[in-house]
């Protein structure tokens, strides 16, 4: 079982578990078409955001493979929730994980996703002692691919039409970082 000690501070951000008090700011970005465009889900109304948030509130630890750690990303200076990051424990036996992230468009373009996702890599490699962490995105999601490259992850694959999402075939990129890459980057 791995439960980080909260709150987690990076240079500008605080990462912490979600609470139901985060409903308004999370709805503020999960309802937007441009945020949902490359996700598996459609823009969410308030009821759907509440259901999603109820799940994320419980995701404050990784107890078994398949679990997801979901954290709120808060801009400390302004005290504003700017987005969410996650770490999925893909395999215990093979020590594999996956990162994910969503940023409110009003707070994009300032490096917050890079800063928060780097901390998630740290949690995966140093907290959960993973051997390899992947990041996957639609090939059309240029900002997400750019973020994975900024993190120093290596593009391992471009799968052609590997997913049928919202009635359209989607190419998928897979990026990865190994534990030894992470240690070298410190």
Ligand X SMILES: CC(C)(COP(=O)(O)OP(=O)(O)OC[C@H]1O[C@@H](n2cnc3c(N)ncnc32)[C@H](O)[C@@H]1OP(=O)(O)O)[C@@H](O)C(=O)NCCC(=O)NCCS
Residue 137 phi, psi dihedral angles, 5° rounding: -155, 160
Q: Nearer Cβ to ligand X, position 26 or 102?
A: 102
Q: Tokens for 172?
A: 């998928």
Q: Assess 102 for contact with ligand X (CB under 6 A).
A: yes
**Whole-angstrom distance, CA of residue 72 vs CA of residue 86:** 9
What minimum distance in Å lies between the beta carbon of 112 and ligand X?
Answer: 4
User: Which residues have CB under 8 Å from 162's CB, separation 6+?
Assistant: 170, 171, 172
Name the β-bridge partners of 113.
none
Any contact of residue 110 with ligand X (CB under 6 A)? yes
Give the interface segment with ligand X, choosing from 47-55, 60-68, 135-143, 164-172 (CB under 6 A).
135-143
What helix, strand, coil percent values describe the chain, rounded to 5?
35, 35, 30
By the rule CB under 6 A, 113 interacts with ligand X: yes
Cβ proximity to ligand X: between 108 and 162 the closer is 108
Assess whether the previous peptide bond of 7 is cis (omega < 30° from 0).
yes
Closer to ligand X by Cβ: residue 102 or 177: 102
Per CB under 6 A, 112 contacts ligand X: yes
Q: Which stretch binds ligand X (CB under 6 A): 16-24, 61-69, 120-128, 140-148?
A: 140-148
Site for ligand X in 17-76 (CB under 6 A): 35, 38-39
Q: What angle do CA 87, 171, 28 make, to 5 degrees?
A: 50
Q: Does 157 bind ligand X (CB under 6 A)?
A: no
Q: Which is nearer to ligand X, 123 or 148 (CB)?
A: 148
User: Shortest CA distance to 116 belongs to which of 88, 155, 151?
Assistant: 151
Which residues sit opposite 74 in a β-bridge? 14, 81
| 3/150 with CB nearer ligand X | 150
109 binds ligand X (CB under 6 A): yes
Residues found near ligand X in the complex (CB under 6 A): 35, 38-39, 101-103, 108-114, 137, 141, 143-144, 147
């Amino acid at each position: 079982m791995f439960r980080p000690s909260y709150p987690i501070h990076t240079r500008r951000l605080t990462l912490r578990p979600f609470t139901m008090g985060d409903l308004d700011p999370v709805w503020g970005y999960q309802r937007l078409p441009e945020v949902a465009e490359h996700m598996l889900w459609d823009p969410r109304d308030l009821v759907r955001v509440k259901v999603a948030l109820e799940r994320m509130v419980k995701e404050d630890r990784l107890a078994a493979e398949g679990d997801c750690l979901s954290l709120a990303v808060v801009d400390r200076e302004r005290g504003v929730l700017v987005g969410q990051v996650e770490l999925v424990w893909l395999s215990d036996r093979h020590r594999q994980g996956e990162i994910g992230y969503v940023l409110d468009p009003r707070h994009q373009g300032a490096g917050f996703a890079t800063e928060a996702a780097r901390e998630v890599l740290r949690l995966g490699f140093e907290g959960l002692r993973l051997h390899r962490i992947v990041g996957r995105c639609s090939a059309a999601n240029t900002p997400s691919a750019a973020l994975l490259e900024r993190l120093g992850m290596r593009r391992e694959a471009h799968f052609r039409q590997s997913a049928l999402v919202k009635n359209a075939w989607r190419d998928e990129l897979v990026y990865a970082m190994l534990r030894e890459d992470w240690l070298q980057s410190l």
